Amino acid sequence: MSDVADPTVPLHGAALDRASAGKSPTLMRLRAASEFIVIPVLAVMAAFLLFSLFLLAIGKSPLTFLSLLWLGGFGTAFSWGNTLQRASPLILTALAVAVPAQLGLTVIGGEGALVLGGFAAAAIAVPFVGTGMPALIVMPLMIVFALAAGGLWVGLAGWLRYRRGVNETISSLLLSYIAIAIMNFFVEGPMRDLNQPMKASTLPIGTAYMVPAMPHLSVHWGFATGVVLALVLGVLMQRTTFGFAAKITGGNMRAAQAQGLPVGRLILTCALISGACAGLAGYFEVAAVQGRANASLAAGYGFTGILVSFLARHNPIAVVPVAILFGGLGAAGGIVQRRMGMPDATVLVLQGFIFVVLLASETLYGRFRIFQMGGSGGRA
Partner 1 sequence: MSHDPLIIVLIAMIGGAIRVSTPFMFVALGECLTEKSGRINLGLEGTLVLGAMLAYATAYQTGSPWLGILAGGAAGVFLGSLHGYLCKLPKVNDIAVGIAMMSFGIGLAFFFGKPYIQPQAPRLPAIPLGGWTGVPQLAEALQINPLFLVGIAAAIVMAWAFANTKWGLIIRTTGDSAAAARAMGVSVDWVRYLATTIGGFLAGVGGSFLSLSYPGSWNEGLSSGQGLMAVALVIFARWSPIRCVMAALLFGAAGALGPSLQSVGITQGYYLFNAAPYILTLLILIASSGSQQAFRAAPGELSITK
Ranges within 338-357 binding partner 1 (CB under 8 A)? 342-346, 348-353, 355-356
Lay out the site mask for partner 1 across 108-127 (x = CB under 8 A, - = otherwise): x-------------------
Ranges within 150-169 binding partner 1 (CB under 8 A)? 160, 164-167, 169
Tally Cβ neighbours within 10 Å of residue 44: 18
Q: 3-class DSSP state for residue 201?
A: strand
In the bound state with partner 1, the residue whose beta carbon lies nearer, of 147 and 281, is: 281
Nearest distance, CB of residue 346 and partner 1, angstroms: 6
Of 36, 242, 244, 365, the residue at the interface with partner 1 (CB under 8 A) is 365
Paired residues of 201 in beta bridges: 294
In the bound state with partner 1, the residue whose beta carbon lies nearer, of 74 and 303, is: 303
Q: CA torsion angle for 113, 224, 243, 323 (degrees, to 10)?
A: 70
Which residue stretch of 87-95, 118-126, 177-185, 274-282 sits at the interface with partner 1 (rule: CB under 8 A)?
Answer: 177-185
Nearest distance, CB of residue 218 and partner 1, angstroms: 27
Lay out the site mask for partner 1 across 234-273 (x = CB under 8 A, - = otherwise): ----------------------------------------
Radius of gyration of the chain (CA): 22
Distance from C-alpha of 150 to C-alpha of 305, rounded to nearest angstrom: 15
In the bound state with partner 1, the residue whose beta carbon lies nearer, of 187 and 287, is: 187
Of 45, 185, 251, 376, the residue at the interface with partner 1 (CB under 8 A) is 185
Distance from C-alpha of 77 to C-alpha of 217, rounded to nearest angstrom: 8
- Contact between 184 and partner 1 per CB under 8 A: yes
Q: How far is CA 104 from CA 30, 263, 294, 314, in A?
A: 26, 12, 33, 10
- Contact between 49 and partner 1 per CB under 8 A: no
Nearest distance, CB of residue 52 and partner 1, angstroms: 15
In the 3-class helix/strand/coil scheme, how is 240-294 assigned residue by residue? CHHHHHHHHHHHCHHHHHHCCCCHHHHHHHHHHHHHHHHHHHHHHHHHHHHCCCE
Which residue stretch of 26-34, 62-70, 134-142, 183-191 sits at the interface with partner 1 (rule: CB under 8 A)?
Answer: 183-191
Distance from C-alpha of 257 to C-alpha of 306, rounded to nearest angstrom: 28
Length of the chain: 380
- Contact between 171 and partner 1 per CB under 8 A: yes
In the bound state with partner 1, the residue whose beta carbon lies nearer, of 6 and 17, is: 6
Distance from C-alpha of 324 to C-alpha of 230, rounded to nearest angstrom: 13
Which residue stretch of 2-10, 123-131, 258-266, 368-376 sits at the interface with partner 1 (rule: CB under 8 A)?
Answer: 2-10
In the bound state with partner 1, the residue whose beta carbon lies nearer, of 22 and 341, is: 341
In the bound state with partner 1, the residue whose beta carbon lies nearer, of 81 and 155, is: 155
Contacts of 117 (CB under 8 A, 6+ apart): 145, 146, 147, 149, 150, 275, 278, 279, 280, 281, 282, 283
Size of the site for partner 1 (CB under 8 A): 50
* 8 A C-beta contact, residue 203 and residue 126: yes
Distance from C-alpha of 292 to C-alpha of 278, rounded to nearest angstrom: 17
Q: Which helix (H) or strand (E) holds 11?
A: helix 8-19
In the bound state with partner 1, the residue whose beta carbon lies nearer, of 49 and 181, is: 181
Lay out the site mask for partner 1 across 299-318 (x = CB under 8 A, - = otherwise): ----xx-xx--x--------
CA 132-138-140 angle, 5° bins = 155
Distance from C-alpha of 247 to C-alpha of 261, rounded to nearest angstrom: 11
In the bound state with partner 1, the residue whose beta carbon lies nearer, of 174 and 214, is: 174
**Footprint of partner 1 (CB under 8 A):** 1-4, 6, 106, 108, 160, 164-167, 169-171, 173-175, 177-178, 181-182, 184-185, 188-189, 303-304, 306-307, 310, 342-346, 348-353, 355-356, 359-360, 362-363, 365, 380
